[in-house]
Structure 1
Amino acid sequence: MTTIHPSERRRSLQRLFPMVAAALTLTAAAPATAQELEKTELNVAILPTMDYVPVVIAIEDGLFKDEGLDVTYQVTTAPASLNGVLGGTYDFAGVTWFAFLTAYNRGLPLVAASELDRGTPGYATIAVKGDSPVKTPEDLIGKKVGVLSTNGACDLTLNDVLLKDGKDYQSIEYVALGVPELVSTLMTGGIDAACLPEPLRTPAMADNDLRDVLDLFTGPYEDMPIVGYSTTTRFRDQNPNTFAAVQRAMTKALEVAHTDPDRSREVLSVYTRVGPETAKTAVLPTYPTGGGIGDLSVVADLMDQLDVIDGPVKVPEQ
């Protein structure tokens, strides 16, 4: 896998990715039969957030089965998801692009089969209790903020907002928590604020006296790629037909999620605790269509600005 230096060639990816998507469409035009697949039974990891709607649609609507794949999933946490796919516990897992690029730049053998979603206003916010003295992002300096994973969209976006305003964000303590613990820990005072993605955000705001202090995916962060559906380069190289079949199924599932928001909300009750009525009002992310991987330079640029890793962040050619 070759790499591009972000300061010199990153913007060329905006022209590259549409061509990659077209190439994937051509090479994946004829589905492999079950006999041609190197591996037909897959174990994948998901989190109980809306990022994973396309994966569940692909399972529930038989899109994986149409490709000869028998896919089962396990609901887990962000760290366990990444460690599990690298360690072979899972064949595929959703990995945030921040974690993906961090792992890739450290030489870990990750490869993305598909995008899952991109950010939209209202999809994820940093919230506090109604009686909290915190009124603005600046007020979070020196406080504890609950996130699903560190060095992710929640903490890096908040840090960047503060950095652009000339504020020192480094005294913020980020606490990684599972989805079920975010609201309860906030309400009991274990943290001062919590990053709440959908479908957690809608019921949390309705059932508790909470208010937002930062809407993550607005302004320069709107449409930011959030999660990629990933595996290891070893799995891809040993199972090229299976990898291609997963890509085809995910392309179809993303099309369903994009064009049928009602279906996206329906599947939430399959893998989360959100009921149908709550799901009707949850804010959806953008589910990209067309195959391939979108422009990751916005993610890499943000990581560069905040010195997430040593040296400039390199972006893989997908």
Structure 2
Amino acid sequence: MTTIWKTALGAALMLTALSSAGWAQTAVNVGCTATTDCASAAVALEEGIFKKNGLDVTMTLIGLNSNIPAALLSDSIQIGGPTPSVFLQAVDGGLDLVAVAGASSTAKATFDTAGVVAAPSANIKSPEDFVGKKVGAPGIGAFLQVLFSKWLIDSGVDPKQVNFVEVTFPTMNDTLKSGAVDAVVTAEPMMSRIIASGTGEVAGYFLEKLPERRPAIFYASTREWADANPEAVQAFRTSIEEAAKIVNDNPEKGRQAIANFTKIPLDVLSKMKLSVSDPKIEQEQLDWWVATMNEQSMLQGEPDTATLIQK
């Protein structure tokens, strides 16, 4: 065998080894609802960041945030974007889930990216006006419904006097327009769409007085999957950190990625702020959520938050 052929054979064997080992792509299906909170995952997919880090990622649109824990448990998705309240209630109910990365969090500059939007005919002008009204929320016990309830409590209104029903983000405009509900607890990009259509008007921004960096969404998996795939978890975190910087520095790329994922028209997204992408998730943040949920008697036990973030 000539030197040239030996060199060629060696190179071929090296490429084979790389493609079967170091370049192997781990398949991960990421499930999120139709909000801007998972913009970092959408951008990481759109910009090829996941692929660069060895992940073969697909994204699945989930109708209700409260469905995400069940989707994780069934392995129809490997990573999901639950709200902290949905995550903590699932853990409280016995599901072994862990947070693997941050997705979005509250910030003073983006308090108006979520709110409660009421039909003009409902004549809702203050928190007291919600008593006896029917309010649609994208999951009972999800981020928006819990913080809207906290806003009511802080305003002296018992949320038990409000009739909550689950309404998916894509159907909120039609549900409000039909009169099936008096108001919807919603977020961008759906909020701008409802207001632009004339179906509803903002009756309150319940995120306005929240502390900074309270997670709205974070990425989670089952502990079993995370323990079995430590390299994939690290690659996912690395990808989300890179993508979060793009979302925060270049919102247009974030909007385009969200449009491609949710199928919401780009002209609607172009008129709104994006949620702040925050790739870190910390115990103190979960502790705040536990305290907020305990205020509403939403937890039976006391979750050990120190064990709920994958190392």
**Is residue 2:87 matched to residue 1:100?**
yes
CA offsets 1:161-217 (integer angstroms, 9 cap, x no match): 222233322121211111121111111110111012101111211111421112121
Equivalent residue in structure 2 for 1:63, among 42, 49, 63: 49
Contact 1:127/1:214 (8 A) holds in 2: yes
Equivalent residue in structure 2 for 1:42, among 25, 28, 33: 28
**Is residue 2:72 matched to residue 1:82?**
no
TM-score (normalised: structure 2): 0.85
Contact 1:42/1:69 (8 A) holds in 2: yes
Q: Secondary structure at the match of 2:210?
A: helix
**Is residue 2:226 matched to residue 1:244?**
no
More helix by share: 2
What are the within-5 Å matches in structure 2 for residues 195-274 of structure 1? 195-220=185-210, 222-274=212-264
Larger relative CO (CA 8 A, sep 6+): 1 or 2?
1
TM-score (normalised: structure 1): 0.83
Structure 1 range deviating more: 37-46 or 185-194:
37-46
Give the C-alpha shift of residue 79 in structure 1: 3.1
- Structure 2: gaps spanning 5 or more residues: 1-17
Work out the CA distance in 2 between the residues paired with 1:33 and 1:54.
27
Q: What's the counterpart of residue 12 of structure 1?
A: none
Structure 1 range deviating more: 37-46 or 113-122:
37-46
Relative to structure 1, the CA distance from residue 89 to residue 217 in structure 2 (aligned partners, 3 Å threshold; closer, same or farther) is same
Q: What's the counterpart of residue 23 of structure 1?
A: none
What are the within-5 Å matches in structure 2 for residues 294-313 of structure 1? 295-313=285-303
Alpha carbon RMSD of aligned pairs, Å? 2.2
Q: Secondary structure at the match of 1:42?
A: strand
Q: What's the counterpart of residue 4 of structure 2?
A: none
Matched letter for residue 126 of structure 1: V
Work out the CA distance in 2 between the residues paired with 1:288 and 1:263.
16
Work out the CA distance in 2 between the residues paired with 1:244 and 1:40.
12
Matched letter for residue 47 of structure 1: T
Q: What's the counterpart of residue 22 of structure 1?
A: none
Contact 2:177/2:199 (8 A) holds in 1: no
Contact 1:79/1:149 (8 A) holds in 2: yes
Give the C-alpha shift of residue 40 in structure 1: 1.0
Identity across the alignment (%): 23
Q: What's the counterpart of residue 112 of structure 1?
A: 99
Q: Secondary structure at the match of 1:281?
A: coil
Give the C-alpha shift of residue 248 in structure 1: 1.2
Work out the CA distance in 2 between the residues paired with 1:37 and 1:238.
19
Contact 1:45/1:93 (8 A) holds in 2: yes
Structure 1 range deviating more: 200-209 or 219-228:
219-228
Work out the CA distance in 2 between the residues paired with 1:142 and 1:188.
18
Relative to structure 1, the CA distance from residue 138 to residue 280 in structure 2 (aligned partners, 3 Å threshold; closer, same or farther) is same
Work out the CA distance in 2 between the residues paired with 1:128 and 1:110.
35
Q: Secondary structure at the match of 1:131?
A: helix
Work out the CA distance in 2 between the residues paired with 1:230 and 1:246.
11
Q: How many residues align?
A: 286
Q: Secondary structure at the match of 1:201?
A: helix
Q: What's the counterpart of residue 11 of structure 1?
A: none
Contact 2:151/2:206 (8 A) holds in 1: no
Equivalent residue in structure 2 for 1:171, among 143, 157, 161: 161
What are the within-5 Å matches in structure 2 for residues 272-287 of structure 1? 272-287=262-277
